[in-house]
Amino acid sequence: MKDKKLIMGAVAYAPKVVTIWEGFKDYFYKNGLNFDYILYSNYEAQVEAQFTNSIHIAWNSPLAWVRARRMAKAKGLTLKAIAMRDTDRDLKSVLVINKNSDLAKSGDISKLKGKKIGFGAVDSPQANLIPMAHLQSKGLLKGKDYEPILFDVLGGKHGDHIGGERDAALALIQGKLDASWMIDGNYLAFSKEGTLPSGSTEILDETDFYDHCNFTTSPGAPEDLLEKFIKLLFSMKWEDPLVRPLLELEGLKQWLPGRTELYKLLEEATDQQQFYSPKGELLAKNYRY
C-alpha cells in the first residue's frame, strides 16, 4: 500500500454517515486505495476546505457544487464533478395539496395567491430554492402573492436530512398549510410511511428536472488517486453481496459519471434568490450553519 492517501470530505447530516464512509473506507483499502475521510458539520465549511488543500474530493450537495464551481472559476482554478449516484439524476420537486381542498378542485396554480405554502430548509435546493424560483417564473412572488412558511432545520446541511420537508408535509396534513413543497422521492416515501395518509393528497404543480449530489474534485487533487477512486466506484455491483449493503446505505444501485447540465435550474435559482454571488460568496441573510 502506498503512503499517498486520498482524503474525501463529507457532511455529517445524520449518524449513519459514519457507518457509510467507514464501510467505503474498508472497501477501498481492501482494493488497493489508501483512503480516508473528514466529516464537516456543514457544506459551507466543506467547500471552503476544497481550496485549502485539506481534502482532495468532496461528496457535495448540488448547492455545494454550485458554490465550489463559482469559487473555482473566480480563482482561475478547475474542479470536476466526476461521479454521482443513479438516484441523483432527473429529479423534480412537487407541490403537494390536500385532495379535498379548493386548490385541488380548481387545479389552478394562480389560486395559490394569498395562501400559506410550506418549504424546507432555507438552504435546501429541492424544497426551497428551486421551488421558490419556479413559483416566481409562474408570476407568484414570495411575501407578495403568498406567505412562505419555512421549516428551517439543521442549517448548513442543504436539506440532506429531509427533516424540513417532513415537517412541512405534517403541517399540510394538520391543516396549517395550503400547499407544501418536497422532492418527488420524498413525496413517495412520506406516502409509504404514512406521514401523508394514503389518498389524502395530490400534486398541484412540479418543477423541471434537475440533478442532486456529486463527487467534486478539489483543485490540484492527485490524478492517479482520483483515477483509482473512480475505477473502484464504477466496479461496484449491486449483485455483489459484499458491496450491496454499502450501496443500500448510500441510496443507490449504480454509480454513474458526473454530469453538470442539470444544475442549470439551481444555478438560476441561486441567483434569483440571492443565495451566493457569482464568485461563491454567501449572500443569504439570517443563514445559520
For residue 235, report the phi and psi dihedrals to the nearest 5 degrees. -85, -10
By DSSP bridging, strand 57-60 and strand 214-217 are antiparallel
- pLDDT at position 107 is 84
Residue 11 has pLDDT above 60, yes or no: yes
Q: How far apart are CA 28 and CA 4, in angstroms?
A: 13
Beta-bridged to residue 91, according to DSSP, are 210
Structural contact between residues 63 and 270, judged by C-beta atoms closer than 8 angstroms: yes
Pick from 148, 219, 135: nearest CA to 178: 148
Q: Quick one: pLDDT band at residue 3, thresholds 50, 70, 90?
A: low
The torsion angle over the Cα atoms of residues 128, 132, 134 and 138, rounded to 10 degrees, is: 160
Structural contact between residues 56 and 223, judged by C-beta atoms closer than 8 angstroms: no
Q: What's at 238, amino acid-wise?
A: W
Q: How far apart are CA 225 and CA 246, in angstroms?
A: 21
Check: pTM over 0.85? Answer yes or no. yes
- pLDDT at position 205 is 97
- pLDDT at position 1 is 35
Q: How far apart are CA 61 and CA 203, in angstroms?
A: 25
Distances (CA, A) of 166 to 8, 71, 129: 29, 32, 17
* Structure confidence by residue, pLDDT tens digits, 148-203: 999 999 899 999 888 899 999 999 999 999 999 999 999 999 999 999 999 999 99
* Structure confidence by residue, pLDDT tens digits, 63-87: 999 999 999 999 999 999 999 999 9
- pLDDT at position 13 is 92
Across the chain, what does the average pLDDT equal? 95
Pick from 12, 15, 9, 4: nearest CA to 38: 9
- pLDDT at position 106 is 85
Q: Quick one: pLDDT band at residue 2, thresholds 50, 70, 90?
A: very low
By DSSP bridging, strand 35-40 and strand 6-11 are parallel
* Structure confidence by residue, pLDDT tens digits, 220-275: 999 999 999 999 999 999 999 999 999 999 999 999 999 999 999 999 999 999 99
Which region holds residue 194: left if phi is over 0, alpha if psi is between -120 and 50, else beta?
left
Structural contact between residues 272 and 136, judged by C-beta atoms closer than 8 angstroms: yes
Domain annotation for the chain: domains and CATH numbers: 6-88+211-272 (3.40.190.10), 93-206 (3.40.190.10)
* Structure confidence by residue, pLDDT tens digits, 193-230: 999 999 999 999 999 999 999 999 999 999 999 999 99
Written in H, E and C, the secondary structure of the chain is CCCCCEEEEEECCCCHHHHHHHHHHHHHHHCCCCEEEEEECCHHHHHHHCCCCCCCEEEECHHHHHHHHHHHHHHCCCCCEEEEEHHHCCECEEEEEECCCHHHHHCCHHHHCCCEEEECCCCCHHHHHHHHHHHHHCCCCECCCEEEEECCCCCCCCCCCCHHHHHHHHHHHCCCCCEEEEEHHHHHHHHHHCCCCCCCEEEEEECCCECCCEEEECCCCCHHHHHHHHHHHHHCCCCCCCCHHHHHHHCCCCEEECCCHHHHHHHHHHHHCCCECCCCCECCCCCCC
